[in-house]
Copies of this chain bind each other. A is one copy, B any other.
Amino acid sequence: MKELSATKTFGGTQSVYSHQSEACGCEMRFAVFTPSKAKHGDGPFPALFWLSGLTCTEENFISKAGAQRMAAELGVVIIAPDTSPRGENVPDDPDGAYDFGLGAGFYVNAQQEPWSQNYNMYEYVARELPTIVKKSFPVDPERFGIFGHSMGGHGALTIHLKNPEIFKTCSAFSPIVAPSQVPWGIKALSNYLGPDEAAWAEYDASVLVSRIPSKAEILIDQGTADNFLVEQLKPEIFAAAAERAGQPHTLRMQEGYDHSYYFIASFIDDHIRWHSERL
């Protein structure tokens, strides 16, 4: 594991690391914020895993969300991985589209060629990364939470529901909640997993919540002025499925907010505090 940068911010340290990933068969990057030792001691700290959306790298969240302030105040570590495998030998969407391939791993384990060798972001986020983080940073593995935005909200919901013993708390901003039913999800799941929709269900939060609800409350914030709300996001599908399944959940429709980091920044304090209180 190689430290690419380490920058002091809010008394803590915002770092970026690279390492050779077994799951993805390439070099992967992830960002880590660790709070001030002077203020909070040596830990171990609760850790939140942030999953970003389409087109993002590990950089967007750490430079735009303003999460470090509250993480520094409460004494929380934040881990933010890249959103897909990268590198010369990693295949990309043949048309270079933003919604598939590089920057669009969708947090699944691909089963189709040529994607299956590298596009194993589920394995990476749910297994490999927590193991690395436990070994290398002052975190308490009994206090891991997961959250994310858009495609990363989908990742957070599905990974939490399938691993509530690892990621005990879960929240999302503007998540894709029913990828089997929306254009972004249909494109990604059919390419990564093949035409059999039964395989898609394994990565569809609205299906998973019916089958394997977790006991933990799930928090979702969604802006009403989000351009993707009606066609791609459809949080009401998840809310209805969660209601039927007895999954504790809160869906907050935030009046006038869009899909951008200006929305995330506005409510990131809430989310970090919410996880912190439950971990």
Task: Indicate whether A97 reaches chain B with its CB closer than 8 angstroms.
Answer: no
Residue from the list B64, B66, B68, B256 in contact with A8, Cβ < 8 A: B256
Cross-chain contact A8 with B258 (CB below 8 angstroms): yes
Task: Tell me which of A66, A68, A225, A261 has the highest count of chain B C-beta atoms within 10 A of its own C-beta.
Answer: A66
Cross-chain contact A9 with B68 (CB below 8 angstroms): no
A260 to B225, CA, bound (A): 32
The stretch that binds B, out of A48-56, A184-192, A262-270, is A262-270
Interface bracket on A: 20 to 34
Cross-chain contact A66 with B265 (CB below 8 angstroms): yes
A9 partner residues in chain B, CB cutoff 8 A: 257, 262-263, 265-266
Task: Indicate whether A69 reaches chain B with its CB closer than 8 angstroms.
Answer: yes
A63 partner residues in chain B, CB cutoff 8 A: 63-64, 261
A257 to B258, CA, bound (A): 33
Cross-chain contact B69 with A265 (CB below 8 angstroms): yes
Cross-chain contact B265 with A68 (CB below 8 angstroms): yes
Task: Indicate whether A98 reaches chain B with its CB closer than 8 angstroms.
Answer: no
User: Contacts A7-B262, A10-B265, A63-B261 given; 19 further ones with Cβ under 8 A?
Assistant: A7-B258, A7-B260, A8-B223, A8-B256, A8-B257, A8-B262, A8-B263, A9-B265, A9-B266, A10-B266, A11-B266, A14-B262, A63-B63, A63-B64, A66-B66, A66-B265, A68-B262, A68-B265, A69-B265
